[in-house]
């Protein structure tokens, strides 16, 4: 996503909490910052893409002078691409507002393929005028930008996305396992089914990996499990059971315990093996 912004001509200062991870961006023309505070100093637009709620809180409001809030200027806009709980997004927006800083929650979906191609779907919660301010940037990373009301709305829709991902990936993995046990020619089966009612993103983009038992990222299994927990909490708050998601979460827990959490979500196929 950052490379897309560089290619579009945005002047970019970058910071990654893991040393060395920003090197390709620096080689492409970004300026490396030693801390989050240094990265955001004087910036009009600030983008975050972090692992979880705790990471976002620490980067924005962590102790000491290295936290971003120490250098955010009044009038800046924080665009948070992270997938976190809707309540956390609202909490962050309130904290930033005390410093005169606006906030959009803008989680994305579309995988690494979509990120590289600038074809992500961006799910936005926040003020409409701030979305319009961010739109020229968002259009470089996303093919579709959708607004879902106040802060937290984007995160709620991302939770729905992860529920759908859970069901579709698990269904493909289960069907492939059955087909293999039946001795069917599974490459031909997948090609035949992709154009019918069973067609899905998971079938089109991940079935081949499942058949090869090779699970490059993609999207990490343990991060999807984290996202499912957000969806489960949202469902519990409104008194709704999510039986399919709960079953997939249990499968993912088994695989994470077995050491496969760093693989792509398509590693769900390992459970059936």
Catalytically annotated residues: 158
Q: Per the structure block, which two tokens stand in for 96? A: 């930033």
């Amino acid at each position: 996503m950052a490379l897309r912004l560089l290619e579009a001509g945005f002047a970019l200062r970058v910071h990654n909490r893991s040393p060395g991870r920003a090197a390709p961006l620096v080689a492409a023309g970004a300026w490396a910052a030693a801390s989050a505070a240094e990265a955001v100093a004087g910036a009009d637009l600030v983008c975050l893409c972090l692992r979880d709620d705790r990471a976002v809180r620490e980067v924005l409001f962590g102790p000491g002078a290295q936290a971003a809030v120490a250098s955010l200027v009044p009038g800046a806009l924080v665009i948070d691409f992270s997938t976190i709980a809707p309540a956390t997004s609202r909490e962050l927006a309130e904290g930033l507002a005390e410093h005169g800083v606006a906030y959009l929650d803008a989680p994305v979906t579309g995988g690494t393929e979509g990120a590289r191609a600038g074809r992500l779907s961006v799910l936005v919660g926040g003020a409409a005028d701030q979305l319009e301010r961010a739109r020229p940037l968002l259009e470089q990373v996303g093919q579709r930008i959708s607004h879902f009301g106040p802060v937290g709305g984007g995160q709620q829709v991302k939770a729905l996305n992860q529920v759908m991902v859970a069901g579709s990936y698990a269904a493909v993995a289960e069907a492939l396992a059955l087909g293999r046990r039946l001795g069917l020619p599974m490459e031909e089966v997948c090609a035949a089914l992709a154009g019918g009612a069973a067609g899905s993103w998971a079938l089109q983009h991940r079935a081949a990996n499942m058949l090869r038992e090779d699970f490059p990222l993609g999207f990490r299994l343990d991060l999807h499990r984290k996202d499912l927990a957000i969806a489960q909490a949202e469902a519990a708050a409104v008194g709704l059971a999510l039986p399919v998601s709960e079953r997939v979460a249990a499968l993912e827990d088994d695989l994470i315990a077995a050491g496969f959490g760093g693989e792509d979500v398509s590693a769900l196929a390992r459970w059936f093996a």
